[in-house]
Structure 1
Amino acid sequence: MATGVQDEADGSAGVDARIAALGDWRGEMLGRLRGLIREADPEVVETVKWRKPSNMLGVPVWEHAGILCTGETYTDYVKLTFAQGAALPDPAGLFNASLEAGTRRAIDIRQGQAPDAAAFRDLIRAAVALNLSKAAGRRRG
């Protein structure tokens, strides 16, 4: 069982590198969101996936019994994509992208914006609970 944030195959160090390489508001925002994710789920595991020539630093991924969300950066916004977002309650209406996707949902954050911290932590906790319930179902089945 994973405990705490781990440096597995570039894990936290890779996320650190990605944030540092941005060097602008996007890095600050990704770092802030990362902090909220860690507050919401102290057992979260950070990884970096999908490295390619056009994105050598890859995409930060937060996992707990499966992927919770990914953190991508674009010129004008930071995107947090929740792997099972369509199945999550979002009473604060944080999801504002990929709303037509069958499974995923995303939050696009532009410069000067910030999601409600408490609502974002609740969304992370809901994603963890969903992943854990699916994992428990697989073990019983």
Structure 2
Amino acid sequence: MTTDDAPSEVKLLSGGNPQIAKGDGDEYVEAYVRAMPDWKGEIGRHLDDLVAEVVPDVRKAVRWNSPFHGMAGNGWFLSLHCFTKYVKVTWLNGAQLDPLPPEDSKDPRVRSSNIRQDDELDDNQLRDWIRQAAALPGDELF
């Protein structure tokens, strides 16, 4: 898939989550971010830009209608997903981050941050979590 092949019309699933074909590479994540509705797209773009800034050699893919960010040989460390009232940032190795991201998970290794429309983002904290998460072993589905 190239950017020219990216779907021009994307179906939005429950909560406004874009339905994007599974695939590896920036272009799949770019298509997902472009399809995120309204304020969610701004958050998605900002988060994707922060990851690229902190981890220039990040690997990207879309799995299960969610963009994933990871390191070759180290697994996935972060994913995004749109819900009706927030964008969920899932830290796949979040239980090892300091400080812990605020939301717990059924999986004890995972933590998340739910970003709502009017939330003020702490870019320094996000950069720190991205830096830490990228350096730790991530999800083995990579």
Cα distance in 1, alignment partners of residues 108 and 136 from structure 2: 16
Deviations 1:14-55 (A, max 9, x none): 1111112123100110110111111111111110011xxxxx
> What are the superposed Cα offsets for residues 51-87 of structure 1, whole Å, 9 maximum, x if unpaired?
xxxxxxx110001121111000111000010111001
Alpha-carbon distance between aligned partners in 2 of 1:67 and 1:32, rounded to the nearest angstrom:
19
Three-state SS of the structure 2 residue aligned to 1:39 is helix
- Tell me the distance in 1 between the aligned counterparts of 2:107 and 2:50: 25
- Answering whether residue 117 of structure 2 is matched by residue 108 of structure 1, we say no
CA separation in 2, counterparts of 1:37 and 1:114? 18
> Hey, what does 1:88 align to over in structure 2?
97
Match of 2:80 in 1: 71
Residue 134 of structure 2 is matched in structure 1 by 128
Gaps of 5+ in 1: 1-7, 51-57, 136-141
TM-score for both structures, normalised by structure 1: 0.74
Correspondence for 1:40 among 54, 60, 63: 54
Letter in 2 for 1:40: V
Task: Point out where structure 2 has 5 or more consecutive residues left out of the alignment.
Answer: 1-21
Tell me the amino acid that sits aligned with residue 123 of structure 1: W
* RMSD across aligned positions (CA): 2.2
Q: Percent identity?
A: 33
8 Å contact kept, 2:90–2:112: yes
CA distance in 1, matches of 2:120, 2:105: 19
- Which residue identity is paired with 1:24? D
Q: Which amino acid aligns with 1:126?
A: Q
Alignment correspondent of 1:25: 39
Q: Secondary structure at the match of 1:131?
A: coil
TM-score normalized with structure 2 length: 0.74
Change (3 A) 1:131 1:10: closer
